[in-house]
Amino acid sequence: MIKKFLLLITLSISLQASSTEGMWVPGMINKLVSGNMESMGMKVSLDDLYAINNSSIKDAVVHFNGGCTSVLVSDQGLLLTNHHCGYSRIQSHSSLEKNYLKDGFWAMSLTEELSNPGMDASIIKEIRDVTDLVLADLSVDASEAERKEHLKKVSGEIIEKAKEETGLDVYIKPFYHGNQYLLFISEIFTDIRLVGAPPSSIGKYGFDTDNWVWPRHTGDFSVFRIYANRENKPADFSEENRPYQPKHFLPVNIQGVEENDYTLVYGFPGTTENYITEVETKNILETVNPLRLKMREASLSVIDEAMRKDELTKIQYAAKQSRISNAYKKWIGQTKGLVRHRVLDKKDSVESLFTKRINENPDWKSSYSTLIAEMEEIENAQLPLSVNRNYFIEFYYMGPEIFRFTEKYRELAAMCKDETITDEAIDAWIAEHSDNSGYFKNYDTSIDGDIMKAQIEYFVEDQKPLDFLNNLKTDKESLTEFVDRLYDESIFNNEASLNSFFDGFKRKNYKKIEADPAYEFSLRLAKFYSDVTRPGLLLYVTKSDSLMRIWMDAQMKVLPERTYSPDANGTLRITFGKVEGYEPFDGAEYAYYTTLEGVMEKEDPTNPEYNVPARLKELYQKKDYGRYAHSTGEMRVAFVASNHTSGGNSGSPVIDANGNLIGLNFDRTWESTMSDIMFNPIICRNISVDIRYVLFIMDKYAGAKHLVDEMKLISE
Ligand code: ASP
């Protein structure tokens, strides 16, 4: 009885999608959702947000190097994103002499802006629904393999046609797990220059301790600029290029943010799994997350300690450390949030109601009666392989770098063995790949070895079919001795030995490459994954993808009271909400904003995570906030709102009811990370840096007022 009652309560919460839940595709927002947006205060129209023939807000929203979002704020291509999104670029320009991570960087003129080879920034021109075209000739009886084949072929043709028509980049992505297909046309810029970044003591203030945490005091922003050729079109870096003139840039509202103000976040959220079953959620919670955490704890303990001890290591490993620790801490918060808010019960109640309804409807019953059970069976059957895969990712991709570094030499070894390939071609390959200075600049062989030692026990323990490892190491050798020998003997762990090996390289030397212990171990790991784990998993994935497609469609039919937004998939989305605090746990209430006062309260000169730069303290003491102060006189730093965001939304513009910029989204509160699996309006909050803090740091702290002058400020 009690269980039933609890079920009813949780059910009503989980079915009734909160009005701010959802990541909506611009240009395809339905009446119900736009009605919600308007009733929450939005004054701009849907056409202002997305238009094809006229300029619209979407033209100011830029996908930043594929993983983050950024926003255009001037007619000279000035681009704002997060400090953590620009971090690896800032790091790559840093050295002990010019430590931009530590001291910040500000270009005082265009000529001082720093180029970033390999980077891109793309702007969506148009989104088209091509579902009918994609699925037109697909037989209803097609097997999953035939369906895949069909989709590949037809999508390829549609993409080619759109490319010819527009001359731009084109891609198609599935939505609602393959129930809808959308085509994206985008313009990709490749000359992106670093303009400015605050020191990490502002841009990363609070570091790992504060990451994913509210109250937050981080000035998480950096500044870039898009350059284009004389025709204002994308072009690779050239001195001739000029600042890009966008179709639209966002005016900046410096009047400030108040509680309950409407907020719209426009950006590129990466991945959510909002429609997975209870069983899949349980497996993430109880099996997958714990193993990922264990592997990352092992590598982080090595890196963190090394970074604490040495200034150069701090620079070399800064970006790598962030890459590992960001998701590490997120998974801890996600697990906490999902458990605390009883997501398994909520998923269970959705599935129970689904079952109850289909049992009342003969048509549904005949189509869906075994669906959930089948999904559960597949999910549990594939779990051991998925565990395997996750260990592989954590060890091979996120662990010791030497694994990935040796990868490229596989091509050379294959060329040497291929008699049709000439010696000249081999020499050319070596010449082309001879400069490894960029890699070794940030590499420390003893740290890399210690990471391998810290992780290998876990990896070995799980991956029982380890004949590949047993053949590598001698019986007498412990794993630690094996790792020591691997690094001692490998030519791939230092630049000098590598260079001397390739000096006067002879074709037959490929045997030495193949016998190299690091090369060999890396290759065995990769082969084990590609020959065993991956093919096994693919069989399940094909089946579970098709069940997921049916499950998605079925839920929309059987439980129509819920509004369904497509899961995030790295494409452009709009989410809306309002500025609001929350109650994180019983007895506590969090305000919706933080101030510079709080930065000072957290200051701890003995802890590098909480050092406050002298200049910032001086401005604080003088209360020299200029026009960026709040009406109460204080300097606001960050605020929270109830937008449904995810990874990839970092750097997204936070836009007010009138289409002006009020902040840059950079994080979520710890419990909010559960929103990747289930959004809970009561506690899920996105964290943004107040745009006035951004401008204050640029203008008053860094003396880069010329950048603020480029923008259009709205002050009344
Ligand atoms: N901090 C995240 C990111 O790096 C944003 C989020 O997940 O909310 O993209």
495-538: per-residue pLDDT in tens?
999 999 999 899 999 999 999 999 999 999 999 899 989 999 99
Query: DSSP for 618-664?
Result: HHHHHT--GGGS-TTS--EEEEEE-----TT-TTPEEE-TTS-EEEE
pLDDT band at 464 (very low <50, low <70, confident <90, very high): low
Q: Say which of 201, 386, 490, 650 is annotated catalytic.
A: 650
Asked whether the beta carbons of 334 and 289 are under 8 A apart, the reply is: yes
- Quick check: is 261 catalytic? no
Does residue 589 or residue 8 have the better pLDDT?
589
Please state, in angstroms and rounded to a whole number, the distance separating the CA atoms of residues 416 and 433.
Answer: 15
pLDDT band at 144 (very low <50, low <70, confident <90, very high): confident
Ligand 1 atom closest to residue 687's alpha carbon, by position in its atom list: 8
Ligand 1 atom closest to residue 672's alpha carbon, by position in its atom list: 8
Instruction: Pick the residue whose CA is nearest to atom 3 on ligand 1.
Output: 647
Please state, in angstroms and rounded to a whole number, the distance separating the CA atoms of residues 285 and 10.
Answer: 19
Ligand 1 atom closest to residue 651's alpha carbon, by position in its atom list: 9
Ligand 1 contact via 649 beta carbon (within 6 Å)? yes
Ligand 1 contact via 645 beta carbon (within 6 Å)? yes
Please state, in angstroms and rounded to a whole number, the distance separating the CA atoms of residues 678 and 360.
Answer: 27
Q: Report pLDDT for 709.
A: 98
Q: Measured in angstroms, how far is the CA atom of residue 88 from the centroid of ligand 1?
A: 16
Q: Measured in angstroms, how far is the CA atom of residue 284 from the centroid of ligand 1?
A: 19
CB atoms within 10 A of CB 210: 18
Alpha helices in 534-595 (DSSP H): 534-558
Q: Say which of 169, 220, 676, 699 is annotated catalytic.
A: 220
Q: Say which of 63, 83, 84, 341 is annotated catalytic.
A: 84
Q: pLDDT exceeding 70 applies to what percent of the chain?
A: 96
Please state, in angstroms and rounded to a whole number, the distance separating the CA atoms of residues 306 and 367.
Answer: 58
pLDDT band at 465 (very low <50, low <70, confident <90, very high): low
367-378: per-residue pLDDT in tens?
999 999 999 999
Asked whether the beta carbons of 405 and 439 are under 8 A apart, the reply is: yes
Q: Report pLDDT for 338.
A: 94
Q: Report pLDDT for 390.
A: 96
Query: What ranges do the domains of the chain cover?
Result: 31-120+190-272+570-714, 129-188, 278-555
Q: Measured in angstroms, how far is the CA atom of residue 646 from the centroid of ligand 1?
A: 6
Asked whether the beta carbons of 17 and 563 are under 8 A apart, the reply is: yes
Ligand 1 contact via 647 beta carbon (within 6 Å)? yes
Instruction: Pick the residue whose CA is nearest to atom 9 on ligand 1.
Output: 647
243-281: per-residue pLDDT in tens?
999 999 999 999 999 999 999 999 999 999 999 999 999
End-to-end CA distance of the chain: 58
Please state, in angstroms and rounded to a whole number, the distance separating the CA atoms of residues 251 and 662.
Answer: 9
Q: At what angle do helices 343-359 and 311-340 cross, to 10 degrees?
A: 40
Task: Provide CB contacts within 8 A for 640, sequence distance 6+.
Answer: 214, 579, 580, 581, 582, 590, 592, 593, 669, 685, 686, 687, 688
Q: Which top CATH class is 31-120+190-272+570-714?
A: mainly beta
Across the strands, what pairs with 606? none
Please state, in angstroms and rounded to a whole number, the distance separating the CA atoms of residues 665 and 81.
Answer: 9
278-316: per-residue pLDDT in tens?
999 999 999 999 999 999 999 999 999 999 999 999 999
Please state, in angstroms and rounded to a whole number, the distance separating the CA atoms of residues 665 and 598.
Answer: 19
Q: Measured in angstroms, how far is the CA atom of residue 207 from the centroid of ligand 1?
A: 14
Please state, in angstroms and rounded to a whole number, the distance separating the CA atoms of residues 61 and 83.
Answer: 17
Please state, in angstroms and rounded to a whole number, the distance separating the CA atoms of residues 32 and 104.
Answer: 46
Ligand 1 atom closest to residue 648's alpha carbon, by position in its atom list: 9
Ligand 1 contact via 69 beta carbon (within 6 Å)? no
Residue 655, pLDDT > 70, answer: yes
pLDDT band at 476 (very low <50, low <70, confident <90, very high): confident
Q: Where does residue 550 rank: exposed (0-12), middle (13-18), buried (19+ CB within 10 A)?
A: middle
Q: Average pLDDT of 610-618?
A: 98
Q: Measured in angstroms, how far is the CA atom of residue 668 from the centroid of ligand 1?
A: 7
Ligand 1 contact via 277 beta carbon (within 6 Å)? no
Q: Where would I find the beta strands (DSSP E) of 130-190? A: 169-175, 180-189
Please state, in angstroms and rounded to a whole number, the distance separating the CA atoms of residues 27 and 430.
Answer: 50
Task: Provide CB contacts within 8 A for 237, sequence distance 6+.
Answer: 115, 117, 190, 191, 227
Query: DSSP for 225-283?
Result: EEEE-TTS----S-TT-EE---S----EE-S---TT-EEEEEE------TT--HHHHHH
Q: Which of 667, 675, 676 to mutate to test the pocket of ligand 1 (most atoms within 8 A of CB)?
A: 667
Q: Report pLDDT for 10.
A: 44
Instruction: Pick the residue whose CA is nearest to atom 1 on ligand 1.
Output: 667
Cα distances (angstroms) measured from residue 250 to each of 23, 247, 355, 373, 522: 21, 10, 48, 49, 48
Please state, in angstroms and rounded to a whole number, the distance separating the CA atoms of residues 436 and 430.
Answer: 11
Q: Average pLDDT of 353-375?
A: 97
Ligand 1 contact via 648 beta carbon (within 6 Å)? yes
- Quick check: is 63 catalytic? no
Residue 135, pLDDT > 80, answer: yes
Please state, in angstroms and rounded to a whole number, the distance separating the CA atoms of residues 680 and 672.
Answer: 8
Q: Report pLDDT for 19.
A: 76
111-133: per-residue pLDDT in tens?
999 999 999 999 999 999 999 99
Instruction: Pick the residue whose CA is nearest to atom 7 on ligand 1.
Output: 647
Ligand 1 contact via 667 beta carbon (within 6 Å)? yes
Three-class SS state of 474:
coil
- Local structure of residue 185 (DSSP, 8 states): E
Instruction: Pick the residue whose CA is nearest to atom 6 on ligand 1.
Output: 647
Q: Which of 324, 329, 646 to mutate to test the pocket of ligand 1 (most atoms within 8 A of CB)?
A: 646
Three-class SS state of 224:
strand
Q: Measured in angstroms, how far is the CA atom of residue 80 from the centroid of ligand 1?
A: 16
Which element (helix H / strand E) includes 128? strand 121-129
16-74: per-residue pLDDT in tens?
445 799 999 999 999 999 999 999 999 999 999 999 999 999 999 999 999 999 999 99
Q: Report pLDDT for 12.
A: 46
194-243: per-residue pLDDT in tens?
999 999 999 999 999 999 999 999 999 999 999 999 999 999 999 999 99
Q: Measured in angstroms, how far is the CA atom of residue 219 from the centroid of ligand 1?
A: 15
- Quick check: is 220 catalytic? yes
